[in-house]
Every structure is written in C-alpha cells, then in structure tokens.
C-alpha cells in the first residue's frame, strides 16, 4: 500500500500539501487560490474534484487563503477546530470539527491531529495514515515538543518546517520584534532545529523528508539542501518550493513501522458560524 504526496506550495506566501491513495485524497491547508491549486494538481495528473476534505492547521492567511474560492467551486468540506474557525471567519465553508488525538476517517485515510506551539489561536499538526503508511505534517511550530517527536518517529515521510537560517535572520533587516517572534517558542522552526529533530528522531524507515515553509529573506533552498544532504542517510531530501509544486511522490509502507495508535474513530460534527 502506498500514499501519494506532494507539496503544491510551501512558504509564507501560501501552504498546501496533497496526500492521497488510489481512491481519495485530502489537502492539508489551502493557502493558494483555487485556480492555482487546480493548475498545480493538474500538472501532477490529479484533480481537485477528487479531494474529499481539507484539514486546516491554523488560521494564518498563508494556510486558509484559498478556502473561499475552493468552496465556491468545489464545496470541499473543511476540517478545522472550533476556535480556529471562529478566528478565521470562514463563513461560507462547510466546516467540521476535529479534536487533538481523535482520529477521523476519510475513506481509507485516517487523520489524527495533535497540538503544536505557534502564535495562532489553536494550532495543530497532523499525521495521516493509510493501511500502515504514515505521513506527518510538521509546520508552523515554535519549538519541538514531545508530541512532535513521538509522531515524527512514526513517519515514512514527513513535511517538516525549516523556516530560517540563524545567521541570515540575525543579520537581516527584520525589526527586532519580528526576529524575536520568529525565533521565539511560538514562531517557526530554524534549519538547525529541524536538522536536530531529523538526526535524533528519524526512524530508519523514513524514506522521504520534505523541508518546507522556507523564509524568502532568512533562508535559501540551497542552504537547506546542503545541510540535509549531509545528514540524509537513506532518506530522500526534497526542498519544497515557495513558487511551484514538487513532483508527486509515492510513499511505501514498511513492516518495521509502528502503527499509529488511535483511541477510536470520531465522527466530526458540523460547525456553523452565525
Ligand atoms: Zn505559515
Ligand atoms: Zn502560522
């Protein structure tokens, strides 16, 4: 069994990740327009009409910007926490709630959320499973917590934030307050923090690592690629672009992995904003 994954865009200008099997797919975040999402999926041989759900990490516009236009054309249900929905004010979306540690089924895909540290109302990350293949999304996180580590250790593939190079951020032109926000415990992960998580907690069955949410001003794809190429071992390193989609990758299951533990599958309730 395999999962097909791609980054459609990754960065402060918009985030959208595709995860699917042969029959159904989900998006994690919808931070680019409907037209651009459709265009990029099409180039990968995929269609937005096959996407059954969109899971939202948090309300920052680089993660929800595309929701209204996607809803207008495709009416794809959005899975979001109640507090994030209130903050994002996505009035027209068909919204369902999720809660941390409570798994949700979308066909054969199982999605479980866990809380993360970020300066948003109710930020979460996800681990998506399909018959023993696990793909994690670790983005917009100020610090590496036990939650992140435990989930990262189960992943055959992971999308991991690698937002900034310490020196470029330090010597760059951002105001001090913004620098402190980025590198504070509720901001973003640095290249060094991402590399440390990878070297210390990578399971030996992790076949692909996608580095994402790279800062335009405080990082570069070359710096990230070089850093991770040196420590990649047998994991393929892919640096996700701020401007275009990656290839579509097939992630295979492996008998050595631990199944993700679920306390049961929850049926989400529909949320309405009045
Ligand atoms: Zn973001
Ligand atoms: Zn954010």
Gap from CA of 254 to ligand 1 centroid (Å): 31
User: Tens of pLDDT along 140-169?
Assistant: 999 999 999 999 999 999 999 999 999 999
Q: Say what the pLDDT of residue 161 is.
A: 98
- φ, ψ of residue 178 to 5 degrees: the values are -70, -40
Is the distance from CB of 86 to CB of 45 less than 8 angstroms?
no
Q: Say what the pLDDT of residue 218 is.
A: 97
- Alpha-carbon distance of 141 to 26, in angstroms, equals 21
Q: Say what the pLDDT of residue 169 is.
A: 95
Gap from CA of 86 to ligand 1 centroid (Å): 18
Ligand nearest the Cα of residue 84 is 2
Ligand nearest the Cα of residue 63 is 1
Structural domain boundaries in the chain: 2-256
Gap from CA of 273 to ligand 2 centroid (Å): 22
Ligand nearest the Cα of residue 11 is 1
Q: Name the residue among 186, 184, 193 with its Cα closest to residue 211.
A: 193
Gap from CA of 118 to ligand 1 centroid (Å): 10
Match domain 2-256 to its CATH number in 1.10.260.40, 3.60.15.10, 1.20.1250.20, 3.40.718.10.
3.60.15.10
Q: Say what the pLDDT of residue 209 is.
A: 98
Q: Which residues of the chain have pLDDT under 50?
A: none
- Residues 6 or more apart in contact with residue 238 via CB below 8 angstroms: 7, 208, 209, 210, 211, 246, 249
Q: Say what the pLDDT of residue 268 is.
A: 82
Per DSSP (E only), the strands in 13-93 are 16-20, 25-28, 51-55, 78-80
- Alpha-carbon distance of 195 to 180, in angstroms, equals 21
């Amino acid at each position: 069994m395999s999962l097909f994954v791609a980054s459609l865009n990754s960065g402060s200008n918009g985030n959208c990740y595709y995860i699917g099997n042969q029959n159904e797919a989900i998006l994690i975040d919808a931070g680019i327009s409907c037209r651009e999402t459709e265009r990029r999926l099409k180039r990968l041989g995929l269609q937005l009409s096959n996407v059954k759900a969109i899971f939202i990490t948090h309300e920052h516009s680089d993660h929800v910007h595309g929701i209204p236009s996607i809803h207008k054309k495709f009416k794809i249900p959005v899975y979001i926490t109640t507090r994030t929905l209130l903050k994002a004010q996505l009035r027209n979306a068909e919204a369902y709630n999720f809660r941390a540690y409570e798994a949700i089924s979308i066909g054969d895909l199982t999605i479980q959320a866990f809380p993360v540290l970020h300066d948003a109302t109710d930020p979460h990350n996800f681990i998506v499973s399909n018959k023993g293949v696990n793909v994690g999304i670790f983005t917009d996180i100020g610090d590496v917590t036990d939650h992140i580590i435990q989930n990262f250790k189960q992943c055959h593939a992971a999308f991991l934030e690698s937002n900034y190079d310490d020196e470029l951020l330090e010597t760059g032109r951002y105001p001090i307050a913004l620098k402190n926000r980025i590198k504070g415990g509720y901001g973003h992960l640095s290249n060094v923090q991402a590399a440390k998580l990878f070297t210390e907690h990578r399971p030996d069955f992790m076949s692909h690592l996608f580095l994402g949410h790279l800062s335009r001003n405080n990082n570069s794809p070359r710096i990230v690629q070089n850093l991770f190429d040196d420590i990649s071992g047998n994991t393929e390193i892919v640096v996700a672009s701020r401007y275009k989609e990656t290839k579509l990758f097939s992630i295979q299951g492996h008998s050595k992995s631990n199944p993700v533990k679920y306390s049961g599958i929850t049926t989400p309730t529909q949320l309405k904003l009045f």
